[in-house]
Amino acid sequence: MELLFATSNRGKAKEAAEIFKKYGITVKRFQFEHNEIRSESLDEIAAEAVSAAYAECQTPVFVEDSGLFIHALSGFPGPYSAWVQKKLGNEGVLRLMKGVADRSARFEASIAFHDGKSVRTFHGACTGTIADSARGTGGFGYDPIFVPEGQKQTFGERIELKNNLSHRYKAILEFSTALASMR
């Protein structure tokens, strides 16, 4: 089975392709530049984006939107995670978190799939904490400052962990399971 993934983020596409492979699904990237809507809901952002993607490619397609929600920062950077990463980097987030006791955070992912008729969304979350400093070079984005629950190392230090317990992995798992039942 082949699936079209609309994204302009190569890191995300690569990661998704590796996970989908386990389920016998080949992912093809559909180069898609889109002005996402502003919303606090990843579901809403992904659902709007996949409708725009489908209008372009006219074939079943999915998008994925994800974000890092830091509890002590009222959910910042949340839906603007990619933009904040570009502007402030991990160094900026560490500054905001300096001396903050509550370091809990949550990665969330929403996948929206347009099957040609309607849109369905699938979800994944991964709880953890913000590290005191950036560690490791694996993954991308916030991976070097995120320690998943029950672990000591960041995703950046142990990238092999990520594909087995990340928000993205869980959303893809939910999506693949649904796909299997549709076939």
User: Which residues contribute to the site for its own copies (CB under 8 A)?
Assistant: 35-39, 73-76, 78, 80, 83-84, 86-88, 92, 95-96, 98
Nearer to its own copies, 61 or 82 (CB): 82
Nearer to its own copies, 88 or 165 (CB): 88
Query: With contact defined as beta carbons under 8 Å apart, do 128 and 105 qualify?
Result: yes
Nearer to its own copies, 49 or 111 (CB): 49
From 58, 38, 50, 67, select the one nearest 6 (Cα to Cα): 50
Q: CA 18 to CA 9: how far, in whole Å?
A: 15
Query: With contact defined as beta carbons under 8 Å apart, do 113 and 50 qualify?
Result: yes
Nearer to its own copies, 3 or 82 (CB): 82
Of 65, 115, 132, 143, catalytic:
65
CB of residue 90 vs its own copies: minimum separation in angstroms?
13
Please confirm whether the linkage preceding 144 is cis (ω < 30° from 0): no
CB of residue 91 vs its own copies: minimum separation in angstroms?
10
Q: Clarify whether 43 is annotated catalytic.
A: no
104: part of which helix (H) or strand (E)? strand 104-114
Q: How close are the terminal C-alpha atoms of the chain, in Å?
A: 10
CB of residue 42 vs its own copies: minimum separation in angstroms?
14
CB of residue 77 vs its own copies: minimum separation in angstroms?
8
Positions annotated as catalytic residues are: 65
